[in-house]
Every structure is written in C-alpha cells, then in structure tokens.
Amino acid sequence: MMYSLLAVGSNAALVTFLLYTLAVFALAWLANKALAGKSFMSEYFLGSRNLGVWAFALTFAATSASGGTFTGFPAKIYTHGWVLALWIASYMVVPICTMGLIGKRVNQMARRAGAITVPDLLRDRFGSRTFGLLATVLIVYFMAFNLSVQFKSGSVILQTLLRDVPIFQDTTAALTSFGNAHADSWLVKQLTPQHGPVDWGYQICLILFGVAVIAYTTYGGFRAVVWTDVMQGIVMVAGVLIMLPLALYQVGGLGTATRELAQMTPPQNAILRLQLPENGGSVPKEAWFKSTDEPPRIFWSTHDAVADASSNVVELQCMEVTSPNELARIRDSHEFFSATIQNVELAAAPKFGANEPGHYVTAPGPSQTSESGFLPFGIAISFFFMWALSGTGQPQYMVRLMAFKDSQTLRRAILTVTFYFGVIYFPLVIIFCCARVLMPGLDHEADSVMPRMAVLLTTNAGHGWLAGLLVAAPFAAVMSTVDSFLLVVSSSLVRDVWQRNIDPDASEKTVKRLSYWTTVVVGGIALIGAVNPPQFLQDIIVYVGSGLAACFLIPVVVTLYWPRANTAGCIAGMLGGFCAHLSMHIWGMFTPGHSFAKPYELFGLSPVLIGLFGSLVATLAVTLMTRPLPDDIIRKYFGKEEPAAKTA
C-alpha cells in the first residue's frame, strides 16, 4: 500500500505550503517594522525583552519541539511501542524545571549585565572574555551539527509534502536528466551520496526550505522567530489534536490497538531471490511479496532492485512479517507484487524480542541492534535526567528566558507550556502505537511515519485536504527549531566575537549589516552541510542536546546561584563536561556494537550523566582551589544595587 499525497487531490499540498510560507514572510516583515526606533542589538537578538505570555510560552515550546518530535520520536514509537511513554516521561516536569528553576534569575542577571546572548551574560558575570569566547565556541560547535540535521529533516518533510505535485515532479525529472548527463562534473559529484544516486527532489526541497528559513530569520530577527514560533506552535498542537481522534477511531479504540500490539513480534531481515516476469525487470521499494507456502510467508522490500538485462532473477533486501495477527490482516488488505520467490535467506535477527510477542507493550521494548532491548533500566533513569535537566541551561532556551517582560509572564508561561507538552507528547505515543497497527511495513523508513500517517488518516476519513495541514505540523516544528538555532549562532558571533573582542566601538549601522550577513552566511554553511547529511537524525539531536547540557548546565546554575563561583571553576566545568561527554562517544567508536552515534554507556548510563558528573566535579574542585571573584562583581549580581551602566 502506498501512502501518497496524490490521493488527497490536486495541488492541495503545494497550496498549503505556499500559504504557510507567505504567512511566515508576512510575520517577518512585521517584525522588521518593529525594529524601527529601537536598540538594534536588543531588538534583533532579544525582542527588546518584552515578550508576553503567549509569545514567550509558544516560542519556548516550539523551540523545544524540533524535527525530532515529529519525525524521530514517532519513528521510535512505531519501532519500539509503548515503552516510549517511559522514554519521554520526564517531559512531565520539563516546564517547571527548565523555566521555573532558572527563568527569573537568568532574566534578572541578563538585565543587570545588559546581556543579549548567553556568552554575553557569562562574560559579564565573571568579567572574563575567555569564558565568553569558550561558551561561543561550544555553542557554534554543537549548533552546527544540529542545524545541518534539522535542515535535512525539514527537506525530507517538504519532499513528502510535494512528492506528487506536478511541477515538483517535472523539475526533479529535468534535474535527474541533467545529473545523468553531467555525472562527471564537480557539482554532481559533490551532491552524490556515498550510496546511491543524487536525490534531486531532496536537493530542491533543501534549497526551498533553507532559503525560506534563512530569509525570514535574517530579515525579521528574534521577533520574527518568536512570532513564527507562535504560529508554528499552534499548527503543531492542532495537528496532534486532529490526528488523535482519527487514529483512535480508525484503529477501533486504544484497547484494540494495544491488544494487537501485544501479539506482535519484530520483523525479521531477509534477502529474497525473486524470479520476475521478464528480463531486466525492476522491483520498487515497499512492494509486498507472498510465498507459496501454506500459510504463506509475507515480505516487503526495503530497497529498489533491478535485474540484469539478460536475466529475470534479482536479489532483494526485505523484511519479513512475523506476527500472526499482522500476517492475517496484510493477506486480506494488501496487493502483492507479481514475482516468484525462489529462495529466502534470513539475515540478522532482531537482537531483542525476536519471535516473542508482548515486547511492544512492555519495557525495555524490542530492538534490532541491542541485546538489552531499547530502554534498559539504566538508560530509562538517564533519560529521566536528560529531558528534564538538559533543557535547563541550553543556550536556545536561556535566550528566551532573557526575553520575557515580567515574572507574572513567566508564571503564566510555565502553566501554558505544562499544558502544551501534556497535549503534545503523550498523545503522540498513542497516535503512533495506533500507526503500527494501521500501517505495517514501515520499519525500514520509520522517519517518514508521521506524514504517511497524516495522509492515511485523512484519506480514510474522507477529508484528504487536511493532510496538508497535518504535514505542516512537523514542518513547523523543524522551522521553529532551525530559526532559533540560527539566531543563537549568529548572535554569538556578532555580539561575543566581533563586538566584544574585535571592534567594541562598531557603529549600529555596522553591527546591523554584520548581523544580517552573519545570519545569511551561517545559514548558508548549514545548508551546504545538509547536502550530504548524516543519516541518524534522532541520534544527532540527542548528541547535541546532551552535549550542551553536559557543558552548560552546571556552570550556568553556579553562575546564577553561587556567589563563590569563579571563572576558573566554570571554565573547568564546561570543559570537563564537554570532554567527559565526548569521551563516551569516542569510546563508542572503538567498541564492538557501538559507534560515535551509539556511544558507550559507562555503568549502563547515558553519556549526559557522565558529562554532568564530570562537569560537577571539575566545577567544584577547581572553584574551591582558586580565588573567589572581586567583591564588586559579587555585589553587582548578588547585592541589591541598581543595574550597571550600559556596557556596549
């Protein structure tokens, strides 16, 4: 069964995308108008510190809900089942932890320092340019990873959205012909991935997505990012709230879905030797095959394959359906490819849960790659730490905490985000547990489960036009994260590198021009990095989130609350967290069954906990061994005196 947007009618997807993009640009234009008559740096990078409840709450929530929320997270639910409820559980306290723990204090200190960025605040709090620069370098390092991955995510979603739009198909076909004709050219070689030909559809979407995000972020600055985040936050919650009842209705109720999941077993990798009706024939990806056994075995192809011109036999990578209840459903509801199965060679079996029903409804959940299952006990504890605490101190959230207008706004925003996360994350677990029952055979392309589910639900409900809106939800999630990261990086470079270290007396005109160009250049570099992006979206997102937490959480907390904290201790804490966290990933590269993206888990714990522990020990030890800061700095931040005079 194919899930294509063509099924929903003419150019509905393209119209949705164009309307959505127009709305984003309109908001950026309005935001640019708001720049007039205000301090450029403060307005462009911080919205003049006067965000109200809805703007602050939704920009915070939308920045948190990234491409991972609507691509990687649904993929994990689809692949591992109900255990994802435990994996994401600590989001129940994320708003009160990330916003409540440091929100008021960050805002107060940023106002006293006149700080516009996180490194700006750290530099002023300790009177150390070195510390500010170190923070900038780490931010740029981690954000560069994430920007490229998010660009990829946005492009993949856009490609799903536009896949069946005629003008998109024609352009892709024309570029494919061009690529084939110029296969030896430098450009085509650069665009060619390690395995397989250039995906021109992806490249078109990357440029469309990248140019749109870079343009509105550059033109409108922080306020444009916040206003578009508000719109995107509403789109996301609307998407989830529409999908939930549709999924529950179409699956026959949540109880039915869970009972079906309880009987399922993970699919088995296999290689089929197929005899096709004619020589040189081809087999598409996601085709279904039935053996002649009784009862028949069922497979689906995970890759395309083409037979030689002189042969009608082809070897094909597949997955075999192993659950009896799924076999019965697929036999009755799917069309099968016309080919004869000559031989079945079973490849690597799932390492945890093979041929054992019940793993999709219990922990640790089935796993193709880990013998301990998806979420062993130690990792469950680590994730409870990670989600709740990793956001605290991360620069993209801290910047938002510097921008709300008063403490009443903060209280109401925590309330709003608490409600928002409850409405987004737990329902996503329910929706994509239902997806496993409604759409078998997507284990090899689980990252695309969200848009496919949107199309399936709306088409079955007879409201295909809704698919465009539902697919806009993950698109909005990626956009709202990319724009925030882009601005964090460019603000760090302009404010903390140029203005603080190279040209402190730069005129507002120079700073303005520099800010625009830096945003364009940083976005352009990330776009180029996404031309051949890494494969594992969610793994990179986890690496960046946990790495930023390991580097920033402890130094930021002591910066805000511990008068004895000093420069040497915080630098040691930042570097200690960075090295401890990175060492687990490097260790993974040299350990069988692990890799950089699948790090070593010392004592069964996630690298974020090792990094936080390293950061804590280094901060405390070095702080206590070195001198405290001068009294005037302590009085400025922990006394009752008025804010300092303008420093820049």
Partner 1 sequence: MLWFLCLCWVVPYSVLYGYDRPAPGEEIPLVWGMPSWVFYGVALPWMSASAISIFMCLFVIKDDDLGLSPEEIEAAGNESPNS
Closer residue to partner 1 (CB): 254 or 346? 254
Tell which residue, 121, 125, 139, has the closest CA to residue 565. 125
Phi–psi pair at 565, nearest 5 degrees: -55, 140
- State the alpha helices, DSSP H only, in 461-601: 466-491, 508-529, 537-561, 567-589
Tell which residue, 20, 7, 60, 27, has the closest CA to residue 158. 20
Angle at 485 between CA 483 and CA 490, to 5 degrees: 95
Closer residue to partner 1 (CB): 107 or 153? 107
Tell which residue, 222, 236, 250, has the closest CA to residue 32. 222
Closer residue to partner 1 (CB): 279 or 408? 408
Tell which residue, 413, 402, 408, has the closest CA to residue 56. 413
- State the alpha helices, DSSP H only, in 81-128: 84-87, 94, 103-113, 118-126
The DSSP letter of residue 594 is -
To partner 1, the closest distance from the beta carbon of 50 in angstroms equals 9
Closer residue to partner 1 (CB): 9 or 357? 357
- The answer to whether 480 and 63 have CB atoms below 8 angstroms apart is yes
Closer residue to partner 1 (CB): 273 or 411? 411
Closer residue to partner 1 (CB): 36 or 309? 36
To partner 1, the closest distance from the beta carbon of 362 in angstroms equals 5
Footprint of partner 1 on this chain (CB under 8 A)? 39, 42, 48-49, 82-83, 85-86, 89-90, 92-93, 95-97, 100, 104, 107-108, 110-112, 114, 253-259, 262, 356-359, 361-364, 377, 380-381, 384, 388-389, 406-408, 410-412, 414-415, 418-419, 422, 426, 430, 642-647
Edge-to-edge order in the sheet of strand 268-275: 288-290, 298-301, 313-320, 268-275, 340-346
- Show Cβ contacts of residue 96 under 8 Å, excluding neighbours closer than 6 positions: 414, 418
Closer residue to partner 1 (CB): 258 or 606? 258
To partner 1, the closest distance from the beta carbon of 559 in angstroms equals 17
Closer residue to partner 1 (CB): 303 or 412? 412
To partner 1, the closest distance from the beta carbon of 327 in angstroms equals 18
Beta bridge partners of 289: 299
To partner 1, the closest distance from the beta carbon of 378 in angstroms equals 11
Q: How far apart are CA 251 and CA 256, in angstroms?
A: 7
Closer residue to partner 1 (CB): 482 or 557? 557
CB count within 10 Å of CB 582 equals 18
To partner 1, the closest distance from the beta carbon of 406 in angstroms equals 6
To partner 1, the closest distance from the beta carbon of 645 in angstroms equals 7
Closer residue to partner 1 (CB): 502 or 645? 645
Closer residue to partner 1 (CB): 359 or 585? 359
To partner 1, the closest distance from the beta carbon of 561 in angstroms equals 15
Cα dist from 210 to 204, 492, 519, 526, whole Å = 10, 21, 12, 9
To partner 1, the closest distance from the beta carbon of 349 in angstroms equals 18
The tokens describing 129, both together, are 């340019």
To partner 1, the closest distance from the beta carbon of 134 in angstroms equals 25
Amino acid at 616: L
To partner 1, the closest distance from the beta carbon of 506 in angstroms equals 17
Residue 184, Cβ density class (10 Å: 0-12 exposed, 13-18 middle, ≥19 buried): exposed
**Residue with tokens 């301090």, as numbered in its chain:** 39
Phi–psi pair at 298, nearest 5 degrees: -125, 135
